[in-house]
Structure formats: C-alpha cells, structure tokens
Amino acid sequence: MQERKLDGMRVAIIVNNDFEQVEMTEPRKALDQAGAQTTLIAPKPGQVIGMNHDKQADQFPVDMALEQAKPDQFDAVLLPGGALNADTMRMNPKAQEFVRQMNGAGKPLAVICHAPWLLVSAGLVSGRTLTSWPTIQDDIRNAGGHWEDREMVRDRNLVTSRGPQDIPAFNKGMIELFAEQRVGAR
C-alpha cells in the first residue's frame, strides 16, 4: 500500500475548457493516491472538456466555480496546461488573484506545460526559476524569470514541468513539495 503522505491536504486544481487532459488526470490520481482531497475548479459550474493534444477528449464535472473558491480553503494548487486553457486562464482576474494569494501565503504550486502563463500574468515569475512548454520560455524570461529546459524544476514553493512527457518527474516533485509543505505547516 502506498504511503499517504498528503492525508487530508486540500488541493485546488484550476482549469478551463481545453486543458491538456493527462496533465490533470495523472497528477490528480497521484494526489488522490497520496491521500489529498482534490477539488476541480473552473470559471463556470458544470463540466469542463479535456484535450488530447489537439483533439477534444473527456468531460469532467466541476466541483466548484472559481467565483466560490477561496485560497484559505486550500493547502496547495495544481495548474494543468494546454495552450487554449492556459491562454484563457491567464486573462482571468479571479484566477490571477487566487494564485497570487496562494503564493503570498507560501502555499505550494505545481504548474505544468503552458500553465506558467497564469503565473506570468499574475506577476509571480520575476526572480524565479522554472520550466514550461518550450514555446513560452520567452514570456517567462520577459517577465523576469529564469527558464531552464529540464523535466522538472523546483524553486521554493513552486514546482514546474515542460509537458506530458515529464509527468512522472512532475508528480514526484509535486508530492515531495506538497508533503514538505504539509510537515512545515504542522
């Protein structure tokens, strides 16, 4: 039986339609297996649609509308990527404020693929080291961040990865970061 390092930890998973499905489902499965309570949050209630690269995939029920989500209800954040999802979420003021408050409270953020765009738009990458899908490295650098081409990069309360190919390293880094945060909060 797997050790449940994250028993009771509350993790917000923030997406919009057209997120990269595997970047939500595989990390969510890892979090659930580690004992975390995951909540799928989206701008609108109902369902969100995942993508398998450039083709629509499955629908998932939204657990909570972004309007109702409060950062103090959660211990950590997972931001899946997907270019369309990330491009929409980066312009959402509520999503920006949510990640700003989580970061300001020192809570851990796990961010993959195109999702660092939200961090860029929220003003959270200056002076930070991270990775992402390679096509947004200029956005990260232009926002004052340091970009590295590695499968997983950890910088304080932030863990980032490039994309689906890096999910095993991303999940490992995310669980370690979240578990350390949990121990530190006790």
- Active-site positions? 114
Q: Per the structure block, which two tokens stand in for 178? A: 């979240």
User: Are 55 and 5 within 8 A, CB to CB?
Assistant: no
How far is residue 170 CA from its own chain's centroid? 10
The CA-atom distances, in angstroms, between 88 and each of 40, 107, 165 are 16, 23, 23
Q: Per the structure block, which two tokens stand in for 91? A: 């312009």
Kind plus residue range of the DSSP H or E element containing 49: strand 47-52
- As a whole number of angstroms, the distance between CA 7 and CA 149 comes to 32
Can you tell me whether residue 108 is helix, strand or coil? coil
